[in-house]
Amino acid sequence: MHVQGRAGAPLRLVEYGDYACPETGRAFGVVERIQLHYGEDLRFEFRHFPLVDAHPRAMPAALLAEAAADADAFWGMHALLLTHQDALEDEDLARYAERFGLPDAGGTREHHERVLRDMAGGRDRGVRDCPAFFVNGTMHEGPNDFPGLTGALGAHGG
């Protein structure tokens, strides 16, 4: 799990996402707008949920994000992967790893375990597709756009 925002924030938005999923890519800009809108009142968490059958490049991208996390560069890599979803082949990921000064593109046992843990947690919470959002612990059933998510956050006191 990767977190932005303070622990005591009154609003919590959790996203389960897939770096190769176009809908997760579109949600990236929405989440950025939401973070600006709510500021310190929002805690955002991202968790991996690569839909490997539909998006075979999602798992290698998630592993690279975890390798970046080891270098305290998760959020930079997260943004790069989501804004370059058309370039997630091995050579692209190797270039991104080099850009961040990583020894490789990830893929250690620990990286796999972190991604699998996120996936299992998502399945346990009812996640079946991406992106999936939870607002203060409740699965968001509405649209994953700015009005839909801010409406859900507003219903929880935001």
**Is the pLDDT confidence value at 71 over 90?**
yes
**Is the pLDDT confidence value at 44 over 80?**
yes
Quickly count: other Cβ atoms within 10 Å of residue 17's Cβ.
29
pLDDT of residue 158: 59
Write the single-letter amino acid at 106: G
Mean pLDDT, the chain, rounded, equals 96
pLDDT digits (tens, 9 = 90+) for 77-89: 999 999 999 999 9
Q: Please list, in sequence order, all residues whose beta carbon lies within 8 angstroms of the beta carbon of residue 71, skipping any fewer than 6 positions away.
A: 100, 101, 102
pLDDT digits (tens, 9 = 90+) for 120-133: 999 999 999 999 99
**Is the pLDDT confidence value at 155 over 90?**
no
**Is the pLDDT confidence value at 153 over 90?**
yes
Find out if CATH 3.40.640.10 is the number for domain 11-155. no
**Is the pLDDT confidence value at 7 over 90?**
yes
CA distance 133 to 140: 5
pLDDT digits (tens, 9 = 90+) for 54-69: 999 999 999 999 999 9
- Note whether 63 and 109 are within 8 A (CB): no
Among candidate residues 19, 3, 14, the one with its CA nearest the CA of residue 89 = 19
Of residues 157 and 2, more confidence is placed in 2
CA distance 7 to 4: 9
pLDDT of residue 1: 78
User: Residue 103 burial by CB count (10 A; 0-12/13-18/19+): exposed, middle or buried?
Assistant: exposed
What mean pLDDT comes out for the span 96-104?
Answer: 94
